[in-house]
Structure 1
Amino acid sequence: MTAIKTTHVGSLPRTQEVVDFIFAREKGQAYDAAAFDAAMEAACAETVRKQVEAGIDIVSDGETSKISYATYVKDRYTGFDGDSPRNAPADLKMFPTFLERLKDDGGTPTYARPQCVGEVRSKGQGELEKDIANLKAGMAAHGATQGFMNAASPGVISLFLPNRFYKTRDAYLAALADAMRDEYRTIVDAGLMLQLDCPDLALSRHMLFTDMSDDDFVKVAGAHVEALNHALDGIDPARVRVHICWGNYEGPHVCDIGMDKVFSTLMKTRAGQVLFETSNPRHAHEWTVFRDRKTEIPDDKVLVPGVIDSTTNFVEHPEVVAQRIERFTDIVGADRVIAGSDCGFGTFAGFGAVDPAIAYAKLGALAEGAQIASGRI
């Protein structure tokens, strides 16, 4: 029997203690640095324990110490300062009453999104090395043998931290790629899988590039992939995962670009594994893109479809999960499929649509569904 492995996109709910520490740092308030580190270490270990208990094979640190999956770079790299205007996705602008409801209900997270106002340079890998040590310690304590760590792609940084310094967008992307290279290498050299979060390859179509045609946007996405691949030069693609998504929020998503339009761009990433949404109602049908374009999937690519969603508190039935997995094993074989989630459950610290306990119940359903699918292969 081929056992289908399980994983997820990366971020998981933080404890209130962790959230309080992160926002104290975010707001420039005084806090005990040693107590901060101790809280992150303990919380990461507990996050790993819960993943293992739920049946997840390839675990993460839950992005415990990060304010968000993209804007954390402002704390680890020079060149970022101030704040930038918020721009709601185009689909939410089409339904202003729903957008207002999200704001009134606290459904939109509040955190700094600085602009790039100077040269982007690494401040060193000290904070990353703490995250790596915490994850590896948690894995050793709770019997996890495979782990991954998230890092922002050059493209997603450019999406959330707009350029006000470099002469061109391409120059900004190139600077980001050069700056992020050491972070990527540090994660891989630590024996972990590197996951690059790349919602810029889909989400940015209806956030930043709304005035473009789909074809013109695909050219932009292609430039993002070129920058990413440059940063990954010399790193074994088998150690790299790339995640694409259309935004981890409940909403109409009627402006999302189709997977068929960005499929070729995604396949050009120097990543052995590609993670993508297949559970949310706007993209659940797009498994057929992979079926119909099977010959365009490189033989060394492993597919990691999201077989549970991350924006609702429904706990998927394990049989539904199994059926979603089987769609992809029928396309590329069981040895090239890993069961994953649509997105993260804690994209922003202290903010998440899914109750923390339910998030782990959903991961448990993912693991149970993978077992069912494995037994039928």
Structure 2
Amino acid sequence: MKRSDRRILTTHVGSLARPHELLDAMRVREEGSQDDSTIDRLVKTAVLDMVKRQAECGIDVVTDGEQSKLGFYQYLVERFDGMETRPGGLVLPPSWQLEVDMFPEYYADYFSKYSSDAGPTKANVIVCTGPITYAGHEAVARDIENLKAALGEVDVEE
């Protein structure tokens, strides 16, 4: 952990927007028709871009912006054994459905951007199928390698 007795260091926590080309490739990979070398190249480029952009904004302690992860739930399935996706419920959790019901005109327009039928669609759900163990050692090593490579291109605290 980086410390400073001169000023408060700035950082960013969480995901930063991924390039469309990377998102498209990740979605194709989910369908089983994208080779990992393409994803690896796009992730490495995206991490470098995110690190440079954070440095340009004055962020002291930069992150990879979670560029290698399509989303939190997919991350669980990719990095943990004992979990898998199955066809299942609605994209929206029940707590959000109340808001959708209260503002139907707004959400009809909102969902039309993501679905041809202008409403939430069925999605895969994640289920526990056995003991949960971490299985993402190679992936996290790749994330660290990508971040270290990007750090070599910028001047930041850490």
**Common fold by TM > 0.5:** yes
Match among 60, 68, 72 for residue 69 of structure 1? 72
Q: How does 1:261-300 map to 2 (within 5 A)?
A: none
What are structure 1's unaligned runs of at least 5 residues?
147-377
Q: 1:111 to 1:58 in 2, by over 3 A?
A: farther
Q: 1:35 to 1:115 in 2, by over 3 A?
A: closer
Aligned pair count reads: 145
Q: 1:113 to 1:136 in 2, by over 3 A?
A: farther
Q: What is the Cα deviation at residue 43 of structure 1?
A: 1.5
The residue aligned with 1:95 is 103
Q: What is the Cα deviation at residue 122 of structure 1?
A: 2.5
Greater length-normalized contact order (CA 8 Å, ≥ 6 residues apart): 2
Match among 135, 148, 173 for residue 147 of structure 2? 135
**Separation in structure 2 between the aligned mates of residue 13 and residue 111 of structure 1, nearest angstrom:** 24
**Secondary structure at 2:133 match in 1:** coil
TM-score by length of 2: 0.77
What are structure 2's unaligned runs of at least 5 residues?
none
Q: 1:53 to 1:109 in 2, by over 3 A?
A: farther
* Cα deviations by residue, 1:125-162 (Å, 9 ceiling, x for unpaired): 1111111111122112212332xxxxxxxxxxxxxxxx
Match among 16, 27, 30 for residue 31 of structure 2? 27
Aligned partner of 2:145: which letter? A
Q: What is the Cα deviation at residue 38 of structure 1?
A: 1.8
**Separation in structure 1 between the aligned mates of residue 62 and residue 87 of structure 2, nearest angstrom:** 33
**Contact kept in structure 2, 1:80 and 1:118, CA below 8 Å:** yes
Q: How does 1:151-230 map to 2 (within 5 A)?
A: none
The RMSD of aligned alpha carbons is 2.7
Q: What is the Cα deviation at residue 123 of structure 1?
A: 2.4
Q: How does 1:44-63 map to 2 (within 5 A)?
A: 44-63=47-66
Q: How does 1:351-370 map to 2 (within 5 A)?
A: none
Aligned partner of 1:126: which letter? E
- Identical residues among aligned pairs (%): 30
**Contact kept in structure 2, 1:92 and 1:99, CA below 8 Å:** yes
**Secondary structure at 1:114 match in 2:** strand
**Separation in structure 1 between the aligned mates of residue 85 and residue 108 of structure 2, nearest angstrom:** 28
**Secondary structure at 2:148 match in 1:** helix
